[in-house]
Structure 1
Amino acid sequence: MDSKLALALTRLSTGLQDPRQPQFCLCCVVGILPNQHDDADAYVTSLRSDHKEFLNAALSFIVQSSYLDAEILAVDHQLKLLTRRCQNVRKPDMRAAHETMMGLMTAGALPLVIETLCFFLNPCLKAAGLGSAQRFSRHRWPTSIGDLLPNGEEKTLRALCMWLPQVMSSDFAEVVRRIYNACRDELLPYVAHLVDAIRAPLDSATTELVGMSPSSRTQPGDTRHPTVRLNELAGLLADVFDHLAFHPGVAMKTIFSDSGLVSRLIGSISHAIDMAATPATLEQLIRVARVLRTLGGIQPESIHSRVEASIPTPYKSPGAFGSLHEQLNVTLNRRACGWPDCPITERTTGKSLLLCAECRVVRYCSQSCQLQHWKSGHKTVCRGLRRLFVVTNTTVNMSRRDFTAACEAADLGEEDLQAVASTFGCMAVEDQFKKGLASGPLWAHFWLSQLYADREGKQGFFDVMPNAIATSLVIPPTIPAGNCDVPERTEKGAGVDEGN
């Protein structure tokens, strides 16, 4: 990035400090965006490495400007005045660009500023890979949660929700989506605000699409096209409900306790389903509507027929060994310390946790936590899994289908099956989705009863278990961690090595 551009970003950082008194020309801000001849990756890397203050100022401006009320007309006037003044001292070719910008600002200068700032923020958030286990970098923006939630969890989310219906661009929805996914655990208590805020822009995009020809709907031209906006909003909704699946108690308290919110949202989604232009968007909308239909008590005639038709009945579990495979991958991909009393996760620390060198399923933040867990139950799990993997020639990295087939083909004896059941029970009582529902021995009994039912071609406990969330919400599959070399065993318990 050349020195002139760096200086422009530094000045813009200063001009963004007070939303009530902005000090920048919007046309000139657009002028420092990369063009088609620039190296976009190098530009983004430079922004994240050398201009963290600018990115923080941009996001803070978006959040702080949501508090403007009576001042918003004055701020709009100020932004137009600054652009007009800048135009008057420019050369003729630049004056034309400023005049075009003045025309765009007549519909509202402040939302246009926010949309423009998202052109800087969005590629930086994307490059940061915020959906990964480690959220932050020491040297590139964002470096901490404060960079993404400048006014704290609730106030920042409310600010983003306020702008969501007003900034008619998928870029803003994508910024909200990336921030949500990076901070979803911190934002969990306030998620109802976000869900409710998505309705208005979803309705707006749907209404625009209804008035367009079918060919126009499927040929989006830019990020303001209603199809592009609808796609991003559907993705945001699906992300929210996918995360809520791991927190059913929060979902019931924040979303499903508000029958009005559920009814409004199901109405918006039902209208949007007919306008969905891509299979992915259609699947996301139907998936969310299916959860609302099941848990919100919505009558079938109140929802889109495609939602009702998509509800599987009766529910069929993956069987005993398939359920074990799912449990192993849920544990592996939590990327959290396996000691139940330890709250540390890779997302909170930004560091890889240690993977048990023997079972290669459970992670730990330290050997101290590993030793505590070994004494309290992991000894049973670790030995049971090692025995299972050897006898059946399986690994946690196999597909569920291959894992199940190998386990069934091994024709395990009664003693081995009892050991597998005990292993499943020990893991189930520590699973955030299952803990508190039954004891370890009872989960072991459930697993064995399912196994015998599988062999007889009958329904087992996992098939008939009254779990509405498990039957109605489809969670996207997670990617198992890769293989690592196994180090030598430690003196107490299994060894640990660095997870992927």
Structure 2
Amino acid sequence: MFLVHFASSDVLGSIRDAMICHWPIVGDGVGCISLLYALHIYHKVATTTPVARGRAPLIRRYDIIGLLARAILSANANFDHPFPERVREYIDDYAAFSRLLRERHSKENVPVLKALTDSAQNCWYITLMQLRAMQTDDPVMHWEQGALERSWQTFGEILGLNEETEHQRDSKQFCAWRECQYHEAKSPKPTTACKGCGAVRYCGKICQAKAWKDGHKQVCKRIKNEAHAPKE
């Protein structure tokens, strides 16, 4: 009963707003722990809320998969904590849950699976590309980063997503800046590719400047270096 009441209140929205406003930075152990608690709550809501109570609308309303995608990138930068492993466990849980929904095809499961797919479609490909661009040379970190990437890729594939299709879709319709209103909704005008790497697109110069300061500067440089590296 507690979960049903919790899911139907706006506490979930408050939690999400608080996490976005105080997103954990590199080395922020307390922030990472808080985010794990938030991920746990949203995971319970997404997987156990009675369908009759609107599980699918809750997944969409609070952009649960989008929050997970943001957590993945934070986990990729906080390897001094057990944070990455826990985030990977949540990805694997969502993957297993999605596979179960596909196997137990029913009228009740269809809208839930569609909500997960639609939510993932807005962030899966770009997060996958960012994970690859953030790979380090450190052997231990490289393995952990690779594990995160593989789990995230598997999750998307279970939902029926593939890189080629999502690249074509994402490259033209959405803004890469996560706080932009067109990050999860189609932009009314054509987006413009980053002139440095060409891997991401923005709806305008304001979003591009914000993304640059937020970390794309380093990602862009890495992508360019990899593109111009001599092939073995």
Structure ranking higher on relative contact order (CA contacts 8 Å, 6+ apart): 2
Which is greater in Rg? Answer: 1
What's the TM-score, normalizing by structure 2? 0.49
What's the TM-score, normalizing by structure 1? 0.27
